Amino acid sequence: MMLPPYSQDSSYSSLMEYLRRMFHKKQMDLEYTFSQMVYLCIAPRKVCQLTIYRHQTKGRWSRDDPAFVVIQVLFLAVSGIAYGVCFSHTFLQVLRVFLIGIVVHFLLLGSLVAAVCNFIANRHLRVRTFQGLDQRVPFLYSFDVHCNAFFPTFLLLYVVQYFLFPLLLSDRVVSCIFGNALCSIALMYYCYITCLGYSTLPFIRNAQVFLYPAIVGLVIAVVFTVTRTNLSVKFFHILGVPPHFNNNRFGGSLAKRWLDVRMHDMYVRRAQRDMYRSRAAYKLLQLDDRFSIFRKNQRVIDLGCYSGGWSQVALKRTRVGESDSVVIGVDKVRMDALQLHTFVQGDITEPSTIDAVKRALGENKKAHVLLSDMAPNVTGRRADDHLEITELNMKTLDVMESILGVKGWLVMKTFFGPETQKLRTFLESRFYKVRASRPHATRPESREVYLIASGYRGRGVSIASEVNERARVRKEGWELEQPPKVRIPQNEAGAIRQEEELERRAKTSAGVMPEE
C-alpha cells in the first residue's frame, strides 16, 4: 500500500517560499492562472479537479504559485484607480479608495472569512478518511478558496457596477431591483464556489453549510427591495466613494447630478423610503403644509406629471378613493400607471389633449386645483432658460382659462428672473391672492420658485396672441420694437418749454384752441 504524499501546506518554509515567489515573475505561471480565472466564471468545477490533480502530484491542497493573488491584486488596483479618478478630487482620496479595495476588502476581510470557514471546517465538518488519517484544512487552502470565490464577485461588484452606475443609482424601482439582484447573485456565487472548494476535500462532509449565507443574503435583498433600499448604493458607500463626483475629469454636470443628487440627497433617500417616485413630491408636500391647498372632493389636474411624484401627493392629500376627488395627470411622456389616477398622454397646448382632460373631468365640470411642475430642457444659460419657462408659463395660463373653476388654486413653477414680477402681476389680475414660495426641498443651486395663486376670479382676456408673439420673437431672434427715447439736454429743456408756452398764448389770444 502506498503512503499518502506528504502535505507541505502548513510548513513555514513553504509559506516563505510562497511569499518570495511573488517578486519573481519568471517563477509564476501566468497562463495557468488566467485559465483558472476563466474556469471560475464558466466552469468552476474544473478548478476543483485541478486542485485534486495538484494534491496528487505535489502533495498539497493549497497553491504554491502566488500568481493568482498577484493578478487579483493588480485587478483591484486598476479598479481602485478607476473609482478614485472617477469619484475623487485629490490624490489622497484616490489612494484611500485604492487601499480599501485591496487591503480591506480582499486581504483583511478575505482573511477573516477564510479563518472563520477554516475554523468551521476543522471543528465541525472534518472526518477521518478510510486510511484512518486525521487531516486538517490548512489556512492557506482556505485563503485559496476565498481567492477563487472573490474573483467572480469582483467582476460583478467592481467592474459591472462601475459601468452601470448611472442605471443602478437611479431612483426608479427597476434600478433598485436590478442593483439588489446583482449584489445577491455576487453573494450566491461566492458561497457556491466556497462550498465547491471545501467539498473537494475528501475529509470534509456537509460542506453545504457554506451555502446558508446565500439564503440569508437573498432574504435580505428581498426585504431591501420591498423597502426601496438599493444595495448598489450601499456598496458605493462601503467602497469609500466620496460624496462629490469629480466633474473635472468625467461628464461634468450630468455625472455630478447622478452621484451627488441620487446618492447623497436627503430627499432622494426619503423618497425611496416613503415610496414616492421623485424627490419633487416633498416640494408639493411642503407647499400644501404651508398653504393648505388640498381638501376632500377636489378635482386636481397635474400638468407635466411624469414621473408621478406630484400626482402621488395629490392622491394622498385629497383622499382619492375615500371621497369624490379626482386626480388627472397630463404629460407627453408615457408614465407608469398609478392606482386611482387618470393619465392623459399628450401636449396640453393641443386642442385634442384639452378635450381629453375635459372628458376626464366630466361634463360641465372644472378643476379645483391646477398643478404645473413643467419646465423646458435647460441649457445652462440662465437668461434663455428664464425666457423659455416664462413662455411655457404663459401657455399654461392660457389653458387654465378653460379648465380651472372659479375660486380654484394654481401652483406653477418658474425660474426667477426679470419676467417673474410681470407674471405675478398678471396672476394678481386673475386671482384674489398670489404668493411666491421656495420650498426647503428645492436644491440650493436651483433658481426655481413656485407661484401659489388662490381664488380664481374667472375667465379673462386670452393671452394666446401674446404667447404667439413672444414665440415668434424668440424663434427669429428679433427684439420687440420700442419707441426711441430722445434725451434732451438740460440746458435746452427750459428754452423749449418757454417757446411752447409763448406759442400757446399766441394761439389763445387769436381765438385758436391749442392742440391736445
What is the pLDDT, as a whole number, of residue 88? Answer: 61
Does the pLDDT value for residue 293 go beyond 90? yes
C-alpha distances (whole Å) from 334 to each of 78, 168, 280, 329 are: 41, 22, 18, 11
- Calculate mean pLDDT across residues 496-512: 54
Does the pLDDT value for residue 328 go beyond 90? yes
Q: Mean pLDDT: which of 195-209, 313-327, 374-388 is highest?
A: 313-327
- Give the active site residue among 283, 296, 413, 422: 413
Residue with cell 506528504: 6
What is the pLDDT, as a whole number, of residue 247? Answer: 44
Nearest to 305 by CA among 284, 287, 275: 284
Alpha carbon distance 71, 30 (integer Å):
8
- Calculate mean pLDDT across residues 177-194: 91
When pLDDT is cut at 50, 70 and 90, the band that residue 29 belongs to is confident
When pLDDT is cut at 50, 70 and 90, the band that residue 106 belongs to is confident
Q: Among this protein's residues, is 283 annotated catalytic?
A: no
C-alpha distances (whole Å) from 335 to each of 54, 177, 247, 250, 313 are: 59, 19, 31, 31, 16
Sign of the torsion angle spanned by Cα atoms 323, 324, 330, 335 = positive
What is the pLDDT, as a whole number, of residue 251? Answer: 44
H or E stretch covering 345: strand 342-345
Residue with cell 380664481: 456
Task: Report the CATH fold assignment for 277-476.
Answer: Rossmann fold (3.40.50)
- Calculate mean pLDDT across residues 184-199: 91
- Calculate mean pLDDT across residues 173-186: 88
Cell of 397: 395660463
- Calculate mean pLDDT across residues 483-492: 41
H or E stretch covering 220: helix 212-226
| Residue 395 phi, psi dihedral angles, 5° rounding | -65, -40
- Calculate mean pLDDT across residues 110-121: 90
Residue with cell 404667447: 467
Could you read off the pLDDT of 332-364 as tens digits, one per residue?
988 888 999 999 999 988 999 999 999 999 888
- Calculate mean pLDDT across residues 455-460: 79
- Calculate mean pLDDT across residues 50-57: 83
Alpha carbon distance 420, 426 (integer Å):
10
- Calculate mean pLDDT across residues 263-272: 78
Does the pLDDT value for residue 252 go beyond 60? no
Alpha carbon distance 502, 287 (integer Å):
63
* Single-letter code of the amino acid located at 375: A
Does the pLDDT value for residue 460 go beyond 60? no
Beta strand 431-437 with 448-456 is antiparallel
Angle at 261 between CA 264 and CA 276, to 5 degrees: 90
Does the pLDDT value for residue 224 go beyond 60? yes
Cell of 401: 382659462
Could you read off the pLDDT of 467-483 as tens digits, one per residue?
455 555 455 443 433 33
| Residue 371 neighbours by CB under 8 Å, 6+ apart | 284, 300, 301, 302, 303, 310, 314, 411, 412
Residue with cell 466633474: 247
When pLDDT is cut at 50, 70 and 90, the band that residue 36 belongs to is confident
What is the pLDDT, as a whole number, of residue 406? Answer: 92
CB of 432 within 8 A of CB of 406? no
Does the pLDDT value for residue 511 go beyond 80? no
Alpha carbon distance 96, 131 (integer Å):
51
When pLDDT is cut at 50, 70 and 90, the band that residue 513 belongs to is very low
Does the pLDDT value for residue 432 go beyond 90? yes
What is the pLDDT, as a whole number, of residue 456? Answer: 94
Q: What percent of the chain has pLDDT over 90?
A: 29
Spell out the domain ranges in the chain. Answer: 12-238, 277-476
Alpha carbon distance 304, 371 (integer Å):
9
**What is the value of pTM for the model shown?**
0.48
Nearest to 224 by CA among 188, 266, 184, 264: 184
CB atoms within 10 A of CB 322: 9
CB of 409 within 8 A of CB of 457? no
Lowest mean pLDDT among 56-70, 75-89, 347-361, 493-507: 493-507
What is the pLDDT, as a whole number, of residue 488? Answer: 39
Alpha carbon distance 268, 252 (integer Å):
21
Mean pLDDT rounded to a whole number for the chain: 79
Sign of the torsion angle spanned by Cα atoms 245, 251, 256, 258 = negative
Lowest mean pLDDT among 433-442, 460-469, 480-489: 480-489
> Which comes out higher in pLDDT, residue 254 or 177?
177
> Which comes out higher in pLDDT, residue 380 or 309?
309
What is the pLDDT, as a whole number, of residue 236? Answer: 74
Residue with cell 423646458: 376
CB of 50 within 8 A of CB of 65? no
- Calculate mean pLDDT across residues 63-68: 80
CA dihedral 204, 209, 211, 213 (to 10 degrees): -130
Could you read off the pLDDT of 125-151 as tens digits, one per residue?
887 655 555 678 888 888 889 999 999
Alpha carbon distance 78, 85 (integer Å):
11
What is the pLDDT, as a whole number, of residue 305? Answer: 93
